[in-house]
Amino acid sequence: MVFTGGPDSRRGEIVLPVRLPQGAGRWEWLCHFLNRPELWHKIDLVRRSHPSMPGGWVYEAHLMVLDGGYTSPDTRERRRQAAALERAGRVDVNVGNLSIVSLPVTLQPADGPVLAEQIVLTDLEHAAAERQWHTIRRRARALERSRRAANKARYELSRRQRRRQQRRQAAGLPERHVDLPKGPRLANAAGRPLVSYRRDRLTGAYRAHPHPR
């Protein structure tokens, strides 16, 4: 993607690389949207707040194509066959399952019965989802520990760490240095951090690591 007409035209054009989606079945999807020059493609530059990123902002390019969505040939054939059955389908989405109901359009007994089916996750799918959740959780905790270790002065000690210091002080032992404060962020009476997250010192590995959403 080439960006022209910026605030400083002396710098010339800004060329941004675009990574297209990969995987099976993606080529036809990309050709449907990007391989027809007669369509109008609009690109909007969007800035959204993200306190964990450098500068506190994330910049994104949104591509808008003035055309209908892509449907594969198999999907179009299934829809054609379903329209000939003169039946209507209803879907109810829940947290852990998906209910599908098929009923006649005229709701007459002679047109056929009402069919219902429930789709649930298998044990293998539940285990895969749980492993993925634990991976995301471990990644988020590792990033949080990295931020706290690099900005120790901007976090309070936890109650357990404070009690440990008090016991050492009562026993006459020297104060022990805390490498990783586990308490809340230092904030004012309204709960707003005294120092914004965008001013934190972050390691290069932290900046390069993909952040969980």
Q: What is the pLDDT of residues 157-194, one digit of tens each?
A: 999 999 999 999 999 999 888 889 999 999 998 888 89
At 122, is the secondary structure helix, strand, or coil? Answer: coil
SS3 52: coil
pLDDT-derived band at 80, boundaries 50, 70, 90: confident
Pick 4 or 36 by higher pLDDT: 36
Task: Please identify which residue in the block is written with the tokens 């379903």.
Answer: 82
How confident is the prediction for the chain on average, in pLDDT? 84
Question: Please, are residues 63 and 41 in contact by the beta-carbon 8 Å criterion?
Answer: yes
Flag the least confident range among 9-13, 24-28, 66-70.
Answer: 9-13
Using the predicted structure, report yes or no on whether residue 7 has a pLDDT greater than 70.
no
pLDDT at 110: 64
